[in-house]
Amino acid sequence: MPAAIIDGKAVAAEIRARVREEAVRLKTTHGLVPGLAVVLVGEDPASQVYVRNKGRQTREAGMESIEHRLPAETSEADLLTLIARLNADPGVHGILVQLPLPDGVRAEAVIDAIDPAKDVDGFHAVNVGRLVTGQSALVPCTPLGCLDLLRRTLGSLAGAEAVVVGRSTIVGKPMAQLLLRESATVTIAHSRTRDLAAVCRRADILVAAVGRPEMLGRDHVRQGATVIDVGINRVSDGSGGERLVGDVDFAAVSEIAGAITPVPGGVGPMTIACLLSNTLRACCRVNGVPEPEGLPS
């Protein structure tokens, strides 16, 4: 039987609608409008698209979008000055600095300058530490979206064998922590893993976050496994254009998996939905308002 398709696009729309409802409630009952500041340095085309989408979806969710577009030559010191200003601004509840940053600007220095309470990306060392130690944290958006899809597909993840392929700070490592928090048995595989296919075939839950087009195929997937594909890779469509593919060979794997996320329309839309949810949470926390139920956490 072919795999069930996990419709991240539909789930993300549901989350955004729920965020909007809660944003309206915050405004009418507390006079609060959550504000998200997005900082883009330079002109990376993919980053420009992401930032535009973030701004539009933030406004559609009834929140304020504050956008700072800075030239590629911006110095680290100038960026840190802007972050300090955003940290001090009570109308800003979330700060996101789009990565990658141009050469010469250290991403860690910039991220660690963000007030952890406004770190809606969940990249600050304080939030990373809080996640690992089981305290309430702002959690990175892409793995949070993956977790939400897994919970909706499988219910409890306790005892499941989970294999995360990829060890990035943005996806692989926090994904593993979130799965561990759900009591899954977690393996992180990466470019130096021996016999990757055999490791992956152990998985009830396989999360692919390597950034290599269609790298995981039939040999990597156990019959009935749930496959979450984080990859978004542009490849030639063979007739002069481009198409998007994931890190998983969808055509082959969807014949044996139990459930699988497509690319596009799987994990991708969940990232911004979770960013909006994190911004709403950050606004509630700083103002002592109870956090809404039914949103990813």
φ, ψ for residue 273, nearest 5 deg? -60, -40
Residue 166 is which amino acid? G
**CB of residue 156 to ligand GUN, shortest distance in Å:** 27
**CB of residue 283 to ligand GUN, shortest distance in Å:** 18
φ, ψ for residue 66, nearest 5 deg? -115, 115
**CB of residue 239 to ligand GUN, shortest distance in Å:** 29
Q: Shortest Cβ contact with ligand GUN: which residue?
A: 99
**CB of residue 252 to ligand GUN, shortest distance in Å:** 27
Q: Which structure tokens are listed for 112?
A: 């660690």
**CB of residue 217 to ligand GUN, shortest distance in Å:** 25
DSSP 111: H
Q: Which structure tokens are listed for 207?
A: 């999360």
Q: Give CA angle at 253 (252, 258), nearest 5°.
A: 140
Exposed / middle / buried, residue 217 (Cβ in 10 Å: 0-12, 13-18, 19+):
middle
List beta partners, residue 5.
Answer: 260
Q: Is position 98 annotated as part of the catalytic site?
A: yes
Name which of 96 and 227 has its Cβ closer to ligand GUN. Answer: 96
Residue of 98, 148, 177, 247 marked active site? 98
Residue of 54, 118, 177, 247 marked active site? 54
Name which of 26 and 96 has its Cβ closer to ligand GUN. Answer: 96
**CB of residue 102 to ligand GUN, shortest distance in Å:** 13
Distance CA 158, CA 92 (A): 37
Residue 67 half-sphere exposure, CB side, CA atoms within 13 Å?
A: 15
- Please identify which residue in the block is written with the tokens 């087009």: 213
Name which of 257 and 282 has its Cβ closer to ligand GUN. Answer: 282
Residue 209's nearest CA partner among 149, 259, 173, 165 is 165
Q: How many residues does the chain have?
A: 297
Name which of 100 and 224 has its Cβ closer to ligand GUN. Answer: 100
Q: Which structure tokens are listed for 175?
A: 């994904």
Residues near ligand GUN, by CB under 6 A: 96-99, 121, 141-142, 170, 271
Q: Which structure tokens are listed for 146?
A: 């993956």
Residue of 57, 118, 119, 121 marked active site? 121
Distance CA 220, CA 215 (A): 9
> Is residue 21 a contact partner of residue 277, using CB atoms and an 8 Å limit?
no
Name which of 114 and 216 has its Cβ closer to ligand GUN. Answer: 114
Name which of 48 and 287 has its Cβ closer to ligand GUN. Answer: 48
Q: Is position 57 annotated as part of the catalytic site?
A: no
* Residue 159 DSSP SS3: coil
Catalytic residues: 54, 98, 121
